[in-house]
Structure 1
Amino acid sequence: MSGARSLTARPAGRHALLVELADAEHTAAFHAEVLRRRAAGTLPPVTEVVPGARTVLLDGVPDPRALARAVAGWEVPPVADDTGDVVEIPVCYDGPDLAEVAALWGVAPDEVGARHRAHTYRVAFCGFAPGFGYLTGLAPRLHVPRRSTPRTRVPAGAVALAGPYSAVYPRATPGGWQLIGTMPDPRPLWDPARERAALLTPGTRVRFVTADDVTTTGAPGDGATATGPPGDDVTATGVPAEGATTGDGNAAGTSPEAGA
């Protein structure tokens, strides 16, 4: 994949550059390349990098026109499947649209969870509400339309599908996505007191795991906490999976001071 593939870069104001890309795959790859060059010190000063569905905005750029000329010649490799932090999200597949999604997929309702869990997703971008990540990675044959009539209230923790995306609602809001399940305790999705408030940030890999063995106290979104055993491969609170790296580059569950 080369930087010349349907890439358009134009200044957005005096100190920002908006890069428009061909598709979600190219956008993810370009975003990863920006972060790689930034970490390597080969990118001009940029204060913020904001990916969208088909765009990447670079803000705080001293000379947007010069950077536009530079990115036009970048070689942008595809994103490797094994790059990015890993977060596991426990799900109870009990959503009100489970039967409708099953019919669209041509499977029994009790098969939807297994199909949904079979994929590893990646956060393409964030939007709509704080902590709401748009997850790509669902097989095209499993894409479903939005509901014809949106709900006035979707509960916090609802696991949803719409088009090519999957998502988890971090708070109760109106919404038109198909609801297939529930994250028992959605509070980790957005925590303003945490250094990285959003759990699901662009580039993060996400795995959905069964929460059948997790019990809760209270209703999701109302202070519910997971009290049952999460199992060997389930992170019941939605924190980075063991062995994944956190936003500061340290392995999850270790401190910066931990030695080899």
Structure 2
Amino acid sequence: MTSNALGRETAWTIVPQGDRCLLLVFGDGIDIATGRRCGTAAAALRAARLPGVSDIVPAFNSVAVHYQPRLFKDGATLDRLVAGIGATLETALSGDKPADDARQVDIPVCYGGEYGPDLEDVARHCGLTPREVIRLHSGTPAYVFMLGFAPGAPYIGIHDRKLAIGRRDTPRTVVPAGSVAIANLQTMIYPNASPGGWNLIGSTPSVLFDAAREPATLLAPGDTVRFVPIGPDDYLALKRAPT
């Protein structure tokens, strides 16, 4: 337990992050239990609609609460905002249940070959066969900690330690949209063509970000992802299918 900005003993700390943001810190590591607390806290704060709050952004072990003083109404102050955050979290985090709106999303993945050019290297590094890498990656649903790097790009984990591998020594200047990549026991799915340094083990025909779609992002923090292996023919069929 630590003291928050009000001096009370809590399982989180509230610290200023610039002049219009409060950072709620729930730990200093990356693990699913901490990630779920961040997701639950973010969902509860959105539902609370505290005066002055303009955005709520969960991450691996923290939640950023952005506020605008000009939005404070009816005598609201920063101290009242902090108190409101504390009261909301005390209620929301009284148990370890996931958020009510948590979803499981199936993501089809064509592994290896031209779709996952690093699969063989990952297998050798981890002392596994490519088939074992696929089984470990797709065998257990994984948690969406946050979106970042690019619109709709999810950070997903934590995977089996047998899949421990760092980023590539030499990043690629262009990674194709839909690439499914691993590093540091996590998965990144590239929503658009961009530079990247993670290890490409497959590709999905799913569209991670579409500005014309509501919501624009396929995944959200707090979701659980189940990777579903598919073959090249299924990949091409799904790629051609209307969205």
> TM-score normalised by the shorter chain: which range applies?
0.7 to 0.9
**Aligned equivalent of 1:175:** 196
Separation of aligned partners in 2, 1:38 and 1:137: 26
**Aligned equivalent of 1:54:** 61
Change (3 A) 1:33 1:55: closer
Separation of aligned partners in 2, 1:190 and 1:105: 31
Separation of aligned partners in 1, 2:168 and 2:104: 30
Once the two structures are superposed, residues 6-52 of structure 1 have per-residue CA deviations (whole angstroms, 9 ceiling, x without a partner) of: x321233554321122133324313313413543x4x6233321012
Q: Output the amino acid matched with 2:223.
A: T
**Aligned equivalent of 1:244:** none
Separation of aligned partners in 2, 1:178 and 1:170: 15
Aligned residue among 207, 229, 238 for 1:210: 229
**Aligned equivalent of 2:161:** 140
Once the two structures are superposed, residues 159-205 of structure 1 have per-residue CA deviations (whole angstroms, 9 ceiling, x without a partner) of: 1001131121111111000110111x24x211101121011111111
**Aligned equivalent of 2:90:** 74
Matches within 5 A, 1:104-253: 104-183=125-204, 185-186=205-206, 188-212=207-231, 214-216=234-236, 224-226=239-241
Separation of aligned partners in 2, 1:79 and 1:160: 29
How high is the TM-score relative to the length of structure 2? 0.77
Once the two structures are superposed, residues 203-255 of structure 1 have per-residue CA deviations (whole angstroms, 9 ceiling, x without a partner) of: 111110011250416xx9xxx4259xxxxxxxxx7xxxxxxxxxxxxxxxxxx
**Aligned equivalent of 2:6:** none
Task: Calculate percent identity across the aligned residue pairs.
Answer: 37
1:15·1:64 contact (CA, 8 Å) conserved in 2? Answer: no
The Cα shift of 1:83 comes to: 6.2
Q: Output the amino acid matched with 1:197.
A: A
Separation of aligned partners in 1, 2:38 and 2:78: 17
Residue segments in structure 2 that go unaligned for 5+ positions in a row: 3-8
The Cα shift of 1:67 comes to: 3.9
2:111·2:202 contact (CA, 8 Å) conserved in 1? Answer: yes
Aligned length: 218
Separation of aligned partners in 2, 1:4 and 1:103: 45
The Cα shift of 1:131 comes to: 1.2
Change (3 A) 1:82 1:57: closer
The Cα shift of 1:71 comes to: 2.5
1:146·1:177 contact (CA, 8 Å) conserved in 2? Answer: yes
Matches within 5 A, 1:94-113: 94=112, 95-113=116-134
Once the two structures are superposed, residues 144-172 of structure 1 have per-residue CA deviations (whole angstroms, 9 ceiling, x without a partner) of: 20011111111111110011311211111
1:17·1:64 contact (CA, 8 Å) conserved in 2? Answer: no
Residue segments in structure 1 that go unaligned for 5+ positions in a row: 228-236, 238-260
Structure 1 residue 89 corresponds to structure 2 residue 97:
no
Q: Secondary structure at the match of 1:214?
A: helix
Q: Output the amino acid matched with 1:180.
A: I
How high is the TM-score relative to the length of structure 1? 0.73
**Aligned equivalent of 2:50:** 44
Q: Secondary structure at the match of 1:129?
A: coil
Task: Kindly indicate which of the two structures has a greater share of residues assigned to helix.
Answer: 2
**Aligned equivalent of 1:234:** none
